Amino acid sequence: MSDDLAQPPLANRFLPELSDSDHDALQSAVSELFQRQAIVRDLPGDKELYDWARLHFPWVKEVAALIGFQVVINEDDQMIYALPGEKNTLRRLRAEWTLVLLALWYDYDVQVRTDGPPVHFSVEAFNESLRTKLGDRMPTISALKEMLAFFAARKLVRMEYADDFHRSTLEVLPTIRFVLPFGELEKVAATLDELMARTPATSDNPGEDHHG
């Protein structure tokens, strides 16, 4: 056997305290952060992973940094979030999706300031909020459904679907503060206005598909 083949795995050399079970947990944690950007203790399937990652956070942070992610932990909200090195989610989303995400952040922040977390509202209520903010640039209900499913996959919201999609409810998770790190409502409102000015209105009839 060659010397190269006889060498212990790199993980054992760089992280000598890593047991087989820790190796598997570290792999799961980094994979979850890479694919879905967050580990939220309150979400199904995340409790044990969050507890392990919190206990071994330096390992998680170091390994994630190797693939270009800055990892932050918020113990108050019991969540760990991975920020891509570019730190600019708005540049990677289509303008229409960004408008919806900004509106979602705005409504989340208003409710946190007035009533505190958690933040829940119906799809119907959010759709009406979008109508007020976006006018003829608001998405169709089918597009909104696609957007919310994507946001749920990225652990920005948690959805509870009803047979009638309008009656579905969404919980906006604190992770949204890391994706859109605005400190003031005025800044997100200004960004929303600026993007609205640069985004052409949809060619669809704005009332055609918004009521399902």
The predicted structure's pLDDT at residue 6: 47
Q: Please work out, in degrees rounded to the nearest 5, the angle formed at the alpha carbon of residue 100 by the alpha carbons of 97 and 101.
A: 85
Cα 87 from Cα 179, distance rounded (Å) = 8
Most confident segment among 1-10, 44-53, 78-87: 44-53
Cα 121 from Cα 172, distance rounded (Å) = 9
Give the model confidence (pLDDT) of 59-75 as tens digits.
888 888 877 778 888 88
The predicted structure's pLDDT at residue 199: 53
**So where are the chain's domains?**
3-84, 89-198
Domain 89-198 -> CATH class: mainly alpha
**Of 91 and 108, more confident:** 108
